[in-house]
Chains A and B, each alone.
Chain A
């Protein structure tokens, strides 16, 4: 792992077209760095939900759960990658799954970079100044959205219109994955209880 690898995500977020091109064709992206960014995203979410200032923190402390934060950050990320891969494979996308994961993870960097310091700064804000906090977090989200758009477009070598269409379809596909997932889960549990009940019947009769 060279220092170049650590610096590359910063290059990507400031020069997305250039950066994602290098990521795809010069192989500059690293899965490990992507994992680190996602880990930091989880950390920033946990810290933000727990420690953001009273003025901007509307979470009920009784129901804060870091494990849930972890699941609700990582699961959508993986879901997006899988759904996007599924859609783009059918739509002549040139991106590999690895590239999608790296491109998506690198796009999350602005959220980490802005939310971590904002969590600290929000503790020193009054009600009127809370607008700045919301402005900063909105900028982070818009920035990430833009990076995601450019990333997907470059990785799959799409036109802008096709990227928008695939992104919309990705969201739909995410919904389908969740639906089928729940379906399988509930079927599996029913099958399990079916055999479990047979077992119990047998136990009672033997």
Chain B
């Protein structure tokens, strides 16, 4: 088992009565309602819930991809709901790594260039090739996304997220487009980020099984958090079977 650097019990993220309402023409839709929660530094958190429950909205607010309609979101002691667009961008650039369900790589850049792209944000990064090697793709650095499998693309996406050594990794259905074996590999990589590198990893999924590898499971339904469970003995990703 890898060395566990997580669970420092320092609160990294705090949601205080956060709400989010979408308006389209005459129609308003309440995606989140009065959500309060805490996530500690180094934890691997799984956001579980059915489709339309509000998981992705929660993740977007957490990563500064969207702004809350009400309430406060505190990250490392700073209220990110008070940030303007520029400051939010800096927050995402420095502190947040994002992994998407469909990888969202730039199709006209190679694997290495996709990772190296982060250098252009002006933040401190590790060697992009090393990041690729960490996800096992050192030998595919010159391949374009269209020349790689879904699993490989997702690993490039992880390399792109971790190259800047962020405090928070956000993963939106990271295995949603992958087969079982590839999914397990990706989950292992994410778990390592938490356990080995001490990063906070928040993962949105609708797959209940993934709850087993999490330190904390936040259950979302109809825009509210209806349960938060702590997992004292999370499984290794390798042990998952589905």
Chains A and B form a bound pair: no
Residues on B facing A (Cβ under 8 Å): none
**Residues of A bordering B, CB below 8 Å:** none
